[in-house]
A and B are shown apart, each in its own frame.
Chain A
Amino acid sequence: MKKVTLTIDGLQLRADEGSTVLQAALANGLYIPNLCNHPDLVPAGLCRVCVVKVDDWKISISCKLPVKEGMVISTEDPEVQRIRKSTVELLVANHPMTCLTCSRDANCELQRVASYVGITQESLKRYRRSVRQLPIDSSNPFFDIDHSKCVLCGICVRTCDELQNINAIDYVRRGVHTTVGTLGNKPITQSCCESCGECVARCPVAALAPKESPISMREVKSVCTYCGVGCGILLGVRGEKVVGVRGDRDNPVNRGSLCVKGRYGFKFINHPDRLTTPLVRKDGVLVPASWDEALERVAANFSEHKGEQFAALASARITNEDNYLIQKFTRAVMQTNNIDHCARL
């Protein structure tokens, strides 16, 4: 790709032509405060905290500004600092001061921006505080929407539109009363939301937050077992329990995205009803058995029912390769074409 050279705060860097100043900075390890930018989404330019000065005269936001050869960017120009500081102060004056009990504490973009800009108690005291008082939408079984913490970055709206193509949410009302909401501003469960949680995963603050989100002690790379797509997942583990799942951005299959089952349907792992060993029916009662014993029983029964008596129904939860094997097994070993798949519903 063609490269251009630009200067940010005196540092010369090379950046891909067509990228934005913010992307160029972040790719080179330089932080420019930002809230509404997300690498997966078209930049919207709404939070205005990524302002910079261009070529010593023009104020612009960096997240939508294309890099240009010879461009000179300042992120610490006094005018930039002033606009950025007011903008962040306005956000904080509008935000509940509940960080210590918040699920995003220490992992929050607003905190990061506020501490970078250097918001002080003194400066904040001058502002009139106004925190949005709206009921939390807790209708969804997996996540809550707390409008008081929403910074209206629009990332959730764009995620649902650009990545999921579902458009369950959009802006509703206007001015200070603007919120993210569904058609007719109904609870999210009464919308076409599929609970995929993609928006929740991208929300920079705790406005969209999973109902339960214990911080994990370690993460284990795995593959989702729900379907043949095989999305890469990272299982969050705490003690001996799986406490959370997130999409693996490095996995080429899903690049971080997940569906509702993969993201939220992990409780079966630690469920007491879950089968962890084969069961074989003896005298009408299912009893635990070894794999060898179970497979032998299956093989013995199968060999008595070859041909038209036999049919196999394959599952969407297994991989393509396994599905191939099943049809091969059905036709070659069981000698019948009675093979079907649950996805033919």
Chain B
Amino acid sequence: MTFAEIQAQANLEWEALNNGGRPQITVGTATCGRSAGAMAVVKAFEEELQAKGIDAALVEVGCIGPCYAEPLVNIKKPGWATVSYRNVTAEMAREIVAAFLLGDDPLAKYALGVFGEGEIAGIPNILSTPAFKPQERRVFRNCGTIDPTNINHYIANDGYIGLNKALGMRQEEVVDVMKRSGLRGRGGGGFPAGRKWEAGLKAKGTQKYVVCNADEGDPGAFMDRAVIEGDPHSVLEGMIIAGYTIGADTGYIYVRAEYPLAIRRLERAIQQAHEFGFLGQNILGTNFSFEIRIFPGAGAFVCGESTALTLSIEGKRGMPRVAPRPRTTEVGLYDKPTLLNNVKTFSSAPMIITRGAEWFASVGTEKSTGTAIFALTGKVQNCGLIEVPMGITLRDIIYDIGGGIADGGQFKAVQTGGPSGGCLPESLLDTPIDYDSLDAAGSIMGSGGMVVMDEKTCMVDVARYFLDFTEIESCGQCVPCRLGTKQLLDILKDICSGRGKPEDMDLLYELSHSVHGGSVCGLGQTAANPVLTTLRYFRDEYEAHINDRCCPAKVCKSLISYVIDKEKCVGCTLCAKSCPVQAISGEKKKIHSIDQALCVQCGVCLEKCPKKFSAIACVSPKVKQEES
């Protein structure tokens, strides 16, 4: 079949699904949807459709983004705007079938919104809500709208056009388009992709490799997983174009073994791409041949570093190569020239080739073109995956898309870049999202984690949390990282537990700079960022911990006490009954008291004390025994 025939066939199938007169139900069944119960919803729809004898298409799609609303179901009924339902359960599914598919009641109470043509009274248009309006779905173009296991869905949505086009271009021309697009590596470092592809093309050697980095080791990051689970062919197509461009015949996808669904989706997609002639010998009738293999990684954060990753594929211990060393584009996998990019970088390539460099660069800033993807989590109303144009401010993301701070809390800090990034305060909320601005503020773009923190978060404790991670994940080969992260962690633990010394802040600062300057790879070089930024922007919290033995956010257990207010306690005994260590004494209808020597600061009593009494308080610094 020619490519045009393949396209025609795919379009037919897509048309039949979308405009064939049948209602269409799509359920997000990526890992995030599944953990929220999406498979039970799919089953309920299946059973209900059959029981009621309804002829409707039921399609499983990838992650649509708003995790807070999972499981998400879209229903496209002929003649109606598409309705998106949030937090759908099996019962709700049955209800929706009865009300909307059999009847004409779209059940507005369950709807998140509508999109597409038309309006439905009582349901807002999703795309005009503040949570969606600023978003620009490019890398996520197909996530949540196509069936990732069906290659025809991908092809019908401009899939493999980029490959077909690239195969008709000279390799230098592809490099040129990539360079002009301004696309920067989405794995965190932000190295210009076009320049990397150019280096790959220019590298001498008959055997070259393309490697896709899908290790995604940052805690709380799952953007790459969403792309692979929701649109695996976009990653394959990007890799095949890259292979053609640099002259490689083999590609590897290094994907965490903890992503079994992503691996299954990739296996399926690779098999389909073979069947359609996008992979294998003589791709689309040209003399270019390319294979893609999947390599499941064992889940070490450091194996996301490019040189550790290639060594890991070779079966060696994943330890970054030490500079000065040749670039991976010259000496990479099996010591051969290797082009290594992140999932989202590869996934961006097909649309750049298809729609042009100028189109890609039309959003974003001059030096950071295109969109950025974040896993927005923490204390915001709306958690989830978002895709925004580069240059949007942190404030817009947190307050518009994120819907502001959850539970009426107060914003304190936002953390980007995971363990390599930093915590930025309120005063920097107008910082635009781009590689250079975040860098200048002391954080990094990273691969896309964004954690919002409220006033109940202790910044020293946050620094401790991230150092805990890097200390464990350090590969251990170089001294500043191996022992530096350990030392920083030990000091932070001491500060959090009231053993901080006044000179610790200077030592933290001094060590942070040495670990940054002395370490071999990015892990060590950035490990101190959480410490440096919290020291810079939240110094008063360190001082309170060290000088006053006080944790202002009341998080650090060694620095807080729970106390019962004698004026307010009515002796209801609820707290005493719930204390797991029997630290509370007092007779019924008499004032209770907490034995500070026994209390383990679990906070249960505070929760149990009825709101109308609010007799228990958490205080810091700790109180002496007699005061409680």
> Which residues of A come within 8 Å of B, CB atoms?
44-49, 51, 59-61, 64-66, 79, 82-83, 85-87, 90-91, 93-94, 126-128, 130, 151-152, 154, 170-171, 173-178
How many of chain B's residues have a CB under 8 angstroms from any CB in A?
A: 40
- In the assembled complex, which residues on chain B have CB atoms less than 8 Å from the CB atom of A176? 471, 474, 476, 482-483, 485-486
Is A128 in contact with B487, judged by CB distance below 8 angstroms? Answer: yes
For A64, give its contact among B324, B482, B514 (CB under 8 Å). B324
1/0 contact trace for B395-410 toward A, CB 8 Å? Answer: 0000000000000000
Segment touching A, from B28-36, B68-76, B215-223, B517-525: B517-525
A128 and B476 form a contact (CB under 8 A): no
Say whether A44 contacts B476, CB under 8 Å: no
* Listed A/B pairs (21) with beta-carbon separation below 8 Å: A44-B322, A45-B323, A45-B478, A48-B519, A64-B323, A64-B325, A65-B324, A66-B324, A83-B518, A86-B484, A86-B510, A86-B511, A86-B515, A86-B518, A90-B480, A128-B494, A151-B479, A152-B477, A174-B300, A174-B476, A176-B476
Smallest CB gap from B490: residue in A: A128
Q: What residues of chain B lie closer than 8 Å to A171, measured between beta carbons?
A: 317, 319, 476-477
DSSP majority for the B interface?
A: helix
Question: Bound complex: CA of A61 vs CA of B478, how far in Å?
Answer: 12
Return the chain B residue nearest A85 by Cβ.
B514
Contact B487 A175 (CB under 8 A): no
A26 CB to nearest chain B CB (Å): 18
B491 on the A face (CB < 8 A): yes
CB distance from A131 to the nearest CB of B (A): 11
**B472: Cβ under 8 A from any A Cβ:** yes
Please report B residues at the A interface, Cβ cutoff 8 Å: 300, 302, 317, 319, 322-325, 471-480, 482-487, 490-491, 494, 501, 503-504, 507, 510-511, 513-515, 517-520
Contact B513 A82 (CB under 8 A): yes
**When the two chains form their complex, are residues B477 and A48 in contact, meaning their CB atoms are under 8 A apart?**
no
Pick the contact of A174: B474, B504, B517 (CB < 8 A). B474
Q: CA A46 – CA B346 in complex, angstroms?
A: 33
Kindly count the residue-residue contacts between A and B in the assembled complex, taking CB atoms under 8 Å apart. 118
The smallest beta-carbon distance between A1 and chain B, in angstroms, is 21
Residue from B473, B503, B507 having most chain A Cβ neighbours under 10 A:
B507
A47 to B520, CA, bound (A): 10
A94 lies within 8 A of B300 (CB): no
Contacting residues, chain A, for B518 (C-beta < 8 A): 48, 51, 83, 86-87
Report yes or no: A82 in contact with B476, Cβ–Cβ below 8 A. Answer: no
Interfacial chain B residues near A86, Cβ < 8 Å: 480, 484, 510-511, 514-515, 518
Cβ contact within 8 Å between B324 and A48:
no
Which residues of A have CB within 8 Å of B471? 175-176
Q: Which residue of B lies closest to A60 (CB)?
A: B324
* A45, A65, A86: residue with the most chain B Cβ atoms closer than 10 Å: A86
The CA-CA distance from A91 to B323 in the complex, in Å, is 21
- Asked if A45 meets B514 with Cβ closer than 8 Å, knowing A91-B483, A152-B482, A174-B475, the reply is no
What is the CA–CA distance of A83 and B473 in the complex, to the nearest angstrom? 22
Distance of A267 from chain B, by nearest CB (Å)? 38
